[in-house]
Structure 1
């Protein structure tokens, strides 16, 4: 049996959710260490010694601590090549796989965070609307790509699906995915995976985000 993965996180829907989901896909047990963001536990000396960036996720492995969610996910998946989450180096899908992995980790993550930020973290209706408009060209490309696909790369579930799926869940939570039927269909397909359900990520869709009201004046 795999040794438990010690995972530091804030909430079921933060970027640690990608790691948790990946671990469940691989059958790796997770030992969760929840940090209190409001209390600033991620800035205390004990945690800073593990992660000087003072962010989550962080995992502790037999090779030392690791940060950056997508790097952690790729590391875990490469330890389990039989899972198929990472194509072999000589696979004809490798270039497309890498491209989509980093579209999710960089472009969609950055755009999605701004929507989340101005919907939930620092509610501001005008900035939220701007963030959604900025995200729309990217969503349009991904929507077209998924029009006749079940998964992002090839014909099977791979790591980019976890990264993109995480962002689509957050955009859905922010009510910013309406009008993108192929992305909604794709999100719903991902939600049926037992590992996705075990990750706790999709539970956020059962909750309403804070209402963003127009500022006075």
Structure 2
């Protein structure tokens, strides 16, 4: 007797198994034929499960790699050490008048219309660029943990979260600055602006902290 088993992609196991299996089974009682068929089916099911497991593992690894790539494309991190105490640095952030002096890249000035420095508070202002253009900004203070952490949600375009963390260091205070954009395409297109702008922002924060220390 010759038995031909044909397997093609179907159902959820798409592309996991494609094979033609031919068996020449000698003449024997029907019960022994059934036993052989059961053994064959067990072998095939086991092969399907192994293939499915490998496919799932590959999918998980690919998803992890893609998520890490996306995080790398949407988040820009930098840091700066400032020779002052944590509370002194935080004071330059929490005081709206002082914040307006240093916020933004080099050459920018600010006009604040609202600065409710509390968790959930609104922060609305216009940045005036050195080119004479005005840039309206709408934000929410998403989280404030004085004097060590501030999270700003930029609700106008481009949308992002900015997390500023302060920690004591040997030199004074380590300021960690992490800007995470919602849209990776937007982040990629403005990376050449964001990266130097963040460094300039930290330059201006450092200058404001040192200015206040010198005047006290």
Same fold (TM over 0.5): no
Task: Specify which structure has the higher proportion of helix.
Answer: 1
- Structure number with greater Rg is 2
- Point out which structure has higher relative CO (alpha carbons under 8 A, 6+ apart): 1
Task: Specify which structure has the higher proportion of strand.
Answer: 2
